[in-house]
Structure 1
């Protein structure tokens, strides 16, 4: 006997509560001539297609879940990195402000050292005999404002 099998793909209705297909496509097998095993064949074809479809969907779902976990981990690490970089930026800004203060203090010390050096250079003009009679004093230093070209600024 020549029997032809046709597969019809449709969406299975959700009529029963025991239905595990969740509205997935399934294949209905139909035979041109009535046959006593046709119901079994239809059921077998539908079940095998359903299981193949569910296996591939489960694999895809598992892959997507792993991808989701990886993306969530990347998001968490990115948040942590962002917080760390913001803290680091605040510390760098604070260091910049403190560096300006250190520069000002260093410039003041350089001016003080230069003034002490000028005063002590005046002691080199004295001889040993001057030290025997009385202790020589350094030259008097007068504080004057100067401009960038090292000229004294006078008030007008």
Structure 2
């Protein structure tokens, strides 16, 4: 049916250019076929033109969307920059706190070691002092009074009760 329709259209076109019934059938068919091909070429060119226009619109749309995406990424990067900066700062502070905490633990350990060493040294010194006192020779003991020596010259000035209180001490 389409062929008949196209044939009728082709006949109309042939009559419009002055080719009527005087043409032979094979020539007429060739002309009809040429007209049909010309119409097909025109349709394809129109389709091609419309597809090119649609392609240009899609390219423009793609470029617009790409530009929007780039702008959104820039805004996102700018929005995340303070967040990333804060995260980096917090991580740095955490690392500093860990180092300080480790240093404090080391210093506390050293302090405990020093206190233990001091205590052991004190015990050694006390032990040595006690041992020295126990092994000291009895001849080194000196009888000494905490008061000044008794002087006969000032005998009358010294009360008798004071003279009786003299004690013996060690040097």
Report the TM-score range of the alignment, normalised by the length of the smaller protein. Answer: 0.3 to 0.5
Task: Give the greater-gyration-radius structure (CA).
Answer: 2
TM-score norm. by structure 1 comes to 0.45
Higher strand share: 1
Structure with the larger RCO, 1 or 2 (CA within 8 Å, 6+ apart): 2
Higher helix share: 2
TM-score, normalization by structure 2: 0.42
